[in-house]
Structure 1
Amino acid sequence: MRYRLKTIGLAIIGLLGASMPIILVNFFLLHYARIDGQKKLDVLANRMLIHAETEIRGAANELRNLADAGIATCSLPNRAAMRESFYRHYSIKAIFLSDESGSNTCSYSGETIDVIGLSEPFTVKDSPAILQMVDPRGSGLTSLMISMPVDEAGSKTINALLPSRIFVPDDVLRSAGTRGQVQVTLDDGSIIGSTILVAGEQSLVEDDVVLSRSTSDTFPVRVLTVERFSSIWGGFGDMRTYTNLGFAFVGLSILLIVVYIGRRQSRAADELERGIENGELIPYYQPVISLETGKLAGCEVLIRWRKPDGTMISPANFIGLAETSGLGLPMTRKLMETVRNELGAVYRERQEMKIAFNLFGDHFDNIDIIKDLGDIFGPSGIGYNQLVMEITERQPLANVEKAKVIIRQLQAMGVRIALDDVGTGHSGLAYIQELGIDILKIDKLFIDAICTNKFSGPIVASLKDLANTTGMTIVVEGVETYDQVQVLQELGISEVQGFLFAPPLPGSSFVSLVEAMVPVRRSGDMVLPVDQHVA
């Protein structure tokens, strides 16, 4: 009866809403839509300008450092310095030297790069840098060239190319919540980067559009953002039809379902969050064994949820919830803190041992993981070079370009990157090529059948050859029989993990295993593995 009364009440409200003056509602919505659209375009223009300034400033700083270092010739050390700058600043497409005639002498790779000027050169406020739009090698793929003199006479310059696509990144476009298009130009109107398909600004103003402009105070750069009002107004279509009784009924039904599911998920997420705060999420350690020496090489950190009543919950029952609820990051942070406390002492004395953590896709959306590792392991007995961060192949990364930046920073710290579940997803080879993977972890799926399936052995052998060629390390998961070990030894696999050697162990058990398998002896204030000696 109560549900029926609510339904009748909503029907009455819908009928009343239908009788409201449509003209008045549309007038209000039109006014609001234009203001809201203008505000979002202003935000987008400002963010795009900041992004453009950041990219140009970063490249200019790299060139300034090279110029200050006297990089004026094509010697091997100078090309090595240019190459280092190229890899450090991922947006730069090329770095090369030019003489006073404008002829290019060489690039970081030793090759010459010919460019065709597309705009007048522009000076930069309070900087010797010069900006110009060019076409490298006449390819039709325009780039912004930043030039920096390398001597006082200005007879030689060192130059960097920034491709047009980096000035209109998708993540910045989406961040303002608008469908607006963007055009980034030099002061003379030369286009640096654009998503606008129409030809020129004049054709834009002929339509009913909302515009926003932003001009740099430092660089000769301007940003235009634009969206047709019909597109903005189209976003308010649901609001204009909200009073329709049928839509209201359907909307209410969906809302009730969403609320019901949401409340269930919310209760589960709240329980998980309390578990994280109360230290109920604990690490278990899967030993990694060297097949070459038979010694303990390290471990992979797994997670279990130990409820207050002692019930142990498998990660399969809460990892998905942690990821969708945004609790994956604090859960991983808490897990790392526990690992540091449990293993810091034994790992300090055994610097050759590694410890691997499984990361979520969200870890590669921002640089918080860099700060977390510094805060947690910086002052601990576990060095950065002992850490391995695992990326799963099963779930693709949302933003590979952003992930590449974060991975480079991790590797610069000494942290190694492993690709987990190799062969089970759709991005493995692409990730190996794009992300600079250090370790391949072959999934249990291939190991289970390695003694019986004619394809499993060759697949593992191929991955081993790939690792040897590219300087990566192989770790095999899920080893459970001696026959599997024999095959893996014949294939030259060096590191394995699985129940044949040890199941995942709680902290105290793993520490005991480490102390038993990797004993150390002390000589004065020095701590050495037993197979080392003091000279």
Structure 2
Amino acid sequence: MSRHYFVFVRAILVALGLALLPLLMGNMILENFATHQARSEMNAIADRYISRSESAISDVVEVLRQMQVKGLTSCTRQNQGEFEKTLAQNVIINAIGIVDHRGVPMCYVPAQVRSGNAVLPAQKKDAPRVGIGMSWMEYQGIRTALVSWKLSNGWRLVANISPIVLAIEAGPDYLRQATEIEVRLGRDHIWVNPVGNSTLPVIMGSNYIEEFASSTIYPINVRVRSDRNAVMSLVSELKIVAVIACSGIAIFLIALGVWLSWKPEKEAEDDFIASIRNNEFIPYYQPVVDIVTGELQGCEMLMRWQLPNGRIVSPGQFMTYAETTGHIFEMTRCIMRQSIDDLGELYASHPELKISVNLFAGHFNDRSVIDDILDVYEDSPIALSQVVMEVTERQPLEDIELARKIIAEMQAHGIRVALDDVGTGHGGLAYLQKLGMDIVKIDKMFIDPLGSEENAFRLVDAIAELADTMNMGIIAEGVEKYEQIVLLRELGVSSAQGYIFSKPLSARQYLEFAEDIFTDRRNPVKVLEVQQELEAEGAGNDASSSSANQTTI
């Protein structure tokens, strides 16, 4: 008998076996699985908070110790200038100062506490050298932690740990909106109590699952509490299947469904490979614009799957499979080759333009990516100096040292390297420090709240200042509002991409977009400025008309 036949018979037998299992036993197994899975996720969440908070406090303590060693123990103008330099070098710190024995600030950089108000308890004689406390300032339920270092004269150096240090995503989607996370410093001080989950204790009542974790270094305790109903939603569909499987009709439908929809894995694999060979994976290009002058600086190359019927499939539906199976390597080579045909003439005539190519973590497991880039671009109309390789922070690099060597070899050939999705994933500041990036790209999640949240402005300012200090270029992603452009200009960010300028474009559309700019038919920034002026005039005319009507009456 064929393998296909045995697979079909096995599916029928599995369906019959499920139908005969007691429903209660099935539910118990599923619920135990969901609970175990949720507890594992919750433990992982708690461990991330402990690890992140321990690392932040230890780093800040070392910064304060170094400040004492350097003699930065008074509020002279020169010392305050050194405080500013220290802030620029340490993104996790958003303020540094000195307080007297009463805990009252003598100086703070930047100034944020009114004179005479204590930010720390009064100094005790037997107090340890390092102290940890909490400020009244917070961001999305995360308070600003204060770390102090006792000086010999009774004063204390103080550093504020930015709340963004503990802005951690609360696990997978099914838990994220039904989980309460509380981080305590000692017994009395709440460090993290996300405002988005403030109603959860009322909603959950006593029907919840809890996990705890404690630091072995500092008095930090984490409690993660999730709604049991949300946890059970992980297996709710399986419970429905179990009920259906208890009837003879369910057995027939399952068997019929297996018969009609079954397809060998190898055949599905062959279909995907055929799509690669047929060049169905094509590049789209999203422009990067100078938000001051409106000049075109280049584009980010994105991958799309164009089916034979013309329908475009977004990366979210195939990228994980491509990366898991390793097909992403050939797919990346294909769109790089296609970019030569699409943009070679344009880039040869405009050497200032850049093209960014996205790489995933697997590209840095060996240096074959270097050979791929050189094979495509070295003798092409697109020069290596016009190529930017983007490294995403959302996936961890397996070997940081090997990745650093590969990036250094890219840069030796004139290729620039950008860190994508800054602040959203695994690497964070470690990638900036260890990998030697040329460009930082600020993720859309930090650009969206610009103009509505003061802390978002400070965060982008900190990233921009850090990039400037490290001589890196900076690009803002996901810009969608003119107000964001104005604020980015204020922060010294001059490059951006987003739907306010253009969505990702086909090769033809991108060439038309570039032609309009280079022939002065269209300046995307000036177009936006004119629109703003017209809207302002319209609002002024409406106000004048309303005033005249009131006077006539």
Does TM, scored on the shorter chain, surpass 0.5?
A: yes
Say whether 1:410 aligns with 2:437: yes
- Secondary structure of the residue aligned to 1:183 is strand
Cα offsets for 1:432-467 (capped at 9, x unmatched): 5699757679975554124766543874999xxxxx
Task: Tell me the equivalent position of 1:60.
Answer: 61
Task: Tell me the equivalent position of 1:329.
Answer: 363
Cα 1:220–1:339 shift into 2, 3 Å? same
Cα 1:452–1:369 shift into 2, 3 Å? farther
Say whether 1:152 aligns with 2:152: yes
Any conservation in 1 of the 2:142–2:194 contact (CA below 8 Å)? no
Amino acid at match of 1:152: S
Any conservation in 2 of the 1:37–1:232 contact (CA below 8 Å)? yes
- Which of 357, 361, 365 is 2:387 aligned to? 357
- How far is the alpha carbon of 1:28 from its aligned partner? 2.7
Amino acid at match of 2:208: V
Equivalent positions of 1:72-471 (< 5 A) are 72-109=73-110, 128-136=129-137, 142-149=143-150, 151-153=151-153, 155-164=154-163, 166-170=165-169, 173-174=171-172, 180-195=179-194, 197=197, 207-243=206-242, 244=244, 245=250, 256=263, 263-265=270-272, 268=276, 326=360, 329-330=363-364, 334-336=368-370, 355-360=385-390, 362=392, 365-366=395-396, 371=401, 374-376=404-406, 378=408, 382=412, 388-389=416-417, 397=421, 405=429, 406=431, 410=437, 416-417=472-473, 419=475, 429=485, 445-450=512-517, 454-456=521-523, 459=526
Percent identical residues = 11
Cα 1:286–1:258 shift into 2, 3 Å? same
Cα 1:15–1:224 shift into 2, 3 Å? same
Taking the aligned partners of 1:454 and 1:277, their CA distance within structure 2 comes to: 34
- How far is the alpha carbon of 1:297 from its aligned partner? 7.7
Taking the aligned partners of 1:224 and 1:41, their CA distance within structure 2 comes to: 9
Any conservation in 1 of the 2:366–2:402 contact (CA below 8 Å)? no
Amino acid at match of 2:160: L
- How far is the alpha carbon of 1:397 from its aligned partner? 4.0
- Secondary structure of the residue aligned to 1:101 is coil
Cα 1:136–1:46 shift into 2, 3 Å? closer
Taking the aligned partners of 2:205 and 2:70, their CA distance within structure 1 comes to: 52
After TM superposition, the structure 1 stretch with the greater mean CA deviation from structure 2, 207-216 or 424-433, is 424-433
Cα 1:129–1:444 shift into 2, 3 Å? farther
Any conservation in 2 of the 1:148–1:157 contact (CA below 8 Å)? yes
Taking the aligned partners of 1:258 and 1:180, their CA distance within structure 2 comes to: 37
Amino acid at match of 1:375: K
- How far is the alpha carbon of 1:421 from its aligned partner? 11
Any conservation in 1 of the 2:397–2:403 contact (CA below 8 Å)? no
Amino acid at match of 1:190: H
- How far is the alpha carbon of 1:22 from its aligned partner? 0.8
Any conservation in 2 of the 1:72–1:97 contact (CA below 8 Å)? yes
- How far is the alpha carbon of 1:85 from its aligned partner? 2.2
Task: Tell me the equivalent position of 1:44.
Answer: 45
Amino acid at match of 2:363: L
Taking the aligned partners of 1:297 and 1:49, their CA distance within structure 2 comes to: 48
- Secondary structure of the residue aligned to 2:93 is coil
Task: Tell me the equivalent position of 1:490.
Answer: none
Taking the aligned partners of 1:27 and 1:446, their CA distance within structure 2 comes to: 59
Number of residue pairs the alignment of both structures matches: 419
Any conservation in 1 of the 2:94–2:161 contact (CA below 8 Å)? yes
- How far is the alpha carbon of 1:119 from its aligned partner? 8.9
- Secondary structure of the residue aligned to 2:157 is strand
Amino acid at match of 1:449: D
- Secondary structure of the residue aligned to 2:211 is strand
Taking the aligned partners of 1:281 and 1:426, their CA distance within structure 2 comes to: 33
- How far is the alpha carbon of 1:62 from its aligned partner? 1.7
Any conservation in 1 of the 2:102–2:121 contact (CA below 8 Å)? no
Taking the aligned partners of 2:127 and 2:40, their CA distance within structure 1 comes to: 32
Cα offsets for 1:105-152 (capped at 9, x unmatched): 2223466566977997999x9972111112149999832111112x32
- How far is the alpha carbon of 1:169 from its aligned partner? 1.1
Cα offsets for 1:278-323 (capped at 9, x unmatched): 99988979799999xxxx9888578xxxxxxxxxxxxxxxx8xx86
Taking the aligned partners of 1:422 and 1:224, their CA distance within structure 2 comes to: 34
After TM superposition, the structure 1 stretch with the greater mean CA deviation from structure 2, 29-38 or 277-286, is 277-286
Any conservation in 2 of the 1:357–1:390 contact (CA below 8 Å)? no
Equivalent positions of 1:469-480 (< 5 A) are none
Taking the aligned partners of 2:256 and 2:96, their CA distance within structure 1 comes to: 62
C-alpha RMSD of the superposition: 5.8
Cα 1:358–1:49 shift into 2, 3 Å? same
- How far is the alpha carbon of 1:41 from its aligned partner? 2.4
- Secondary structure of the residue aligned to 1:62 is helix
Taking the aligned partners of 1:188 and 1:420, their CA distance within structure 2 comes to: 41
- How far is the alpha carbon of 1:390 from its aligned partner? 5.4
* Structure 1: stretches of 5+ with no match in the other structure: 303-318, 345-352, 463-535
- Secondary structure of the residue aligned to 1:235 is helix
Amino acid at match of 1:410: M
Taking the aligned partners of 1:287 and 1:451, their CA distance within structure 2 comes to: 14
Taking the aligned partners of 2:425 and 2:329, their CA distance within structure 1 comes to: 34
Cα 1:301–1:47 shift into 2, 3 Å? closer
Any conservation in 2 of the 1:133–1:190 contact (CA below 8 Å)? yes
TM-score by length of 2: 0.56
Task: Tell me the equivalent position of 2:306.
Answer: none
* Structure 2: stretches of 5+ with no match in the other structure: 245-249, 277-321, 439-466, 502-509, 530-553
TM-score by length of 1: 0.58
Cα 1:334–1:361 shift into 2, 3 Å? same
Any conservation in 2 of the 1:420–1:440 contact (CA below 8 Å)? yes
Taking the aligned partners of 2:220 and 2:484, their CA distance within structure 1 comes to: 40
- How far is the alpha carbon of 1:102 from its aligned partner? 2.1
